[in-house]
């Protein structure tokens, strides 16, 4: 889907000036959020940068802003709408900016999965956990069924909480984060995890497999982090002697175990910032962020883990032409590409989010505005 109306081409020399003019005209009425994986040309106009959860919190912390322009992807804008006031308008500059991982778990598929767990007699002892990188509908599902949301930073604590509530966990939608958390953080065995495939009858699992499992992983993954391989790690170690390899927990289990360190986006940034001058780092995460860190720390060697260039294609749909288009329409009083979540879905998604916020060690969020 493309935005209606005329978009200035990327080569338009006036784009930067037009964006600055529109933002200045809107003043405090607009608050622009920029995810770490966004292009530099977009980050330049962000009032705050961060990961998806931090940005949703920041949106809630600015009730004075009439317009929240979310430079990220669809599920992130949904979270911002859930946590902000009804009088605020959340705008996504390009409606085609989705998330392949979030799209791998449709609400109807997850409902089918839950019925499958019921038929196997394990639903009553299963607690659903969903990664922040999921749709509002999936967050609402977890809220309705006594579960919660997690980020890549607090997945361990969220999974511990899940096991305090029940005997099993259904982890949505990223299999790699779920597996890495269960095995590396909670000391479960790989055999304690089974993979539910929504495209196979019964998820491709027998009743006995479901009954024996501790963690039921949804077959979903990040198209960026999932591309890194053990060969990528070996190659970069040969290419850069003494390099520290740090990867995101959305990477495959074999890659995470081969790396020196694993951490969320914010943790990767903090690690590079705190590193000694002259050190070398190979990062297994999105290329826009890696390039930005390399430029910000010229005293350190910061490299992309894989030789092949890999941007997040959906995140990169938000570019300066789309941002200018959205801002200029807001100046004219026209709200374009507004993201709204229906009240029932928003209620149950907020329930799941509030359960996460109650977990020890989770940064406090501003009060939500109903």
Q: Where are the beta strands (DSSP E) in 224-325?
A: 244-247, 261-262, 280-284, 301-304
**Structure tokens given for 325:** 């288009």
Instruction: Report the distance separating Cα 10 and Cα 314, nearest Å.
Output: 17
Strands 261-262 and 280-284: unpaired
Confidence band, pLDDT 50/70/90 cuts, at residue 160 = very high
Task: Return the pLDDT at 198.
Answer: 97
Residues 187-239: tens digit of each pLDDT: 999 999 999 999 999 999 999 999 999 999 999 998 888 889 999 999 999 99
| Peptide bond preceding 39 in cis form (omega within 30 of 0) | no
Q: Classify domain 102-218 at the CATH superfamily level.
A: NadA-like (3.40.50.10800)
CATH code assigned to 15-98+315-341: 3.40.50.10800
CA-wise closest residue to 187 among 164, 156, 162: 156
Tokens 């590396």 correspond to 184
Query: Between the CA of residue 12 and those of 7, 320, 321, 332, what are the distances in Å?
Result: 10, 10, 9, 21
Asked whether the domain spanning 225-304 has the same topology as the one spanning 15-98+315-341, the reply is yes
Residues 252-289: tens digit of each pLDDT: 999 999 999 999 988 999 999 999 999 999 999 988 88
Q: Which of 112-131 are b and which e, b meaning 16 or more Cβ less than 10 Å from the residue's Cβ?
A: ebbebbeebebbeebbbbbb
Domain ranges of the chain: 15-98+315-341, 102-218, 225-304
Instruction: Report the distance separating Cα 290 and Cα 279, nearest Å.
Output: 15
CATH code assigned to 225-304: 3.40.50.10800
- Tell me if 247 sits within 8 A of 256, measured CB to CB: yes
């Amino acid at each position: 889907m493309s935005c209606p109306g005329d978009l200035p081409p990327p080569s338009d020399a006036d784009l930067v000036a037009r964006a600055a003019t529109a933002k200045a005209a809107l003043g405090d009425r607009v608050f622009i959020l920029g995810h770490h994986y966004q292009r530099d040309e977009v980050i330049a106009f962000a009032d705050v940068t961060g990961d998806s959860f931090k940005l949703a919190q920041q949106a809630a912390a600015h009730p004075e802003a009439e317009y929240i322009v979310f430079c990220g992807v669809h599920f992130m804008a949904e979270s911002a709408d859930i946590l902000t006031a009804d009088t605020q308008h959340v705008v996504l500059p390009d409606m085609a900016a989705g998330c392949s991982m979030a799209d791998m778990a449709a609400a109807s598929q997850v409902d089918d999965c839950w019925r499958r767990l019921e038929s196997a007699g394990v639903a009553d002892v299963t607690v659903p956990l969903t990664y922040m990188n999921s749709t509002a509908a999936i967050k609402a599902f977890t809220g309705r069924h006594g579960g919660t949301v997690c980020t890549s930073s607090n997945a361990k604590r969220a999974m511990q909480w899940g096991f305090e509530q029940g005997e099993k966990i259904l982890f949505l939608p990223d299999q790699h984060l779920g597996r890495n958390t269960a095995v590396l953080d909670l000391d479960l065995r790989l055999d304690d995890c089974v993979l539910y495939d929504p495209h196979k009858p019964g998820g491709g699992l027998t009743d006995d497999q479901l009954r024996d499992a501790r963690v039921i992983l949804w077959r979903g993954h990040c198209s960026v982090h999932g591309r890194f391989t053990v060969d990528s790690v070996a190659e970069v170690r040969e290419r850069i002697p003494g390099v520290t390899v740090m990867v995101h927990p959305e990477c495959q289990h074999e890659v995470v175990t081969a790396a020196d360190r694993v951490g969320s986006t914010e943790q990767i940034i903090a690690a590079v910032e705190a590193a000694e001058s002259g050190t070398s780092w190979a990062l297994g995460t999105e290329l826009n962020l890696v390039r930005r860190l390399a430029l910000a720390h010229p005293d350190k060697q910061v490299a992309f883990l894989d030789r092949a260039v890999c941007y997040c294609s959906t995140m990169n749909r938000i570019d300066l032409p789309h941002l200018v288009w959205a801002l200029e329409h807001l100046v004219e009083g026209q709200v374009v590409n507004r993201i709204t979540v229906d009240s029932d879905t928003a209620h149950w998604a907020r329930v799941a989010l509030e359960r996460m916020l109650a977990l020890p060690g989770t940064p406090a969020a501003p009060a939500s505005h109903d």
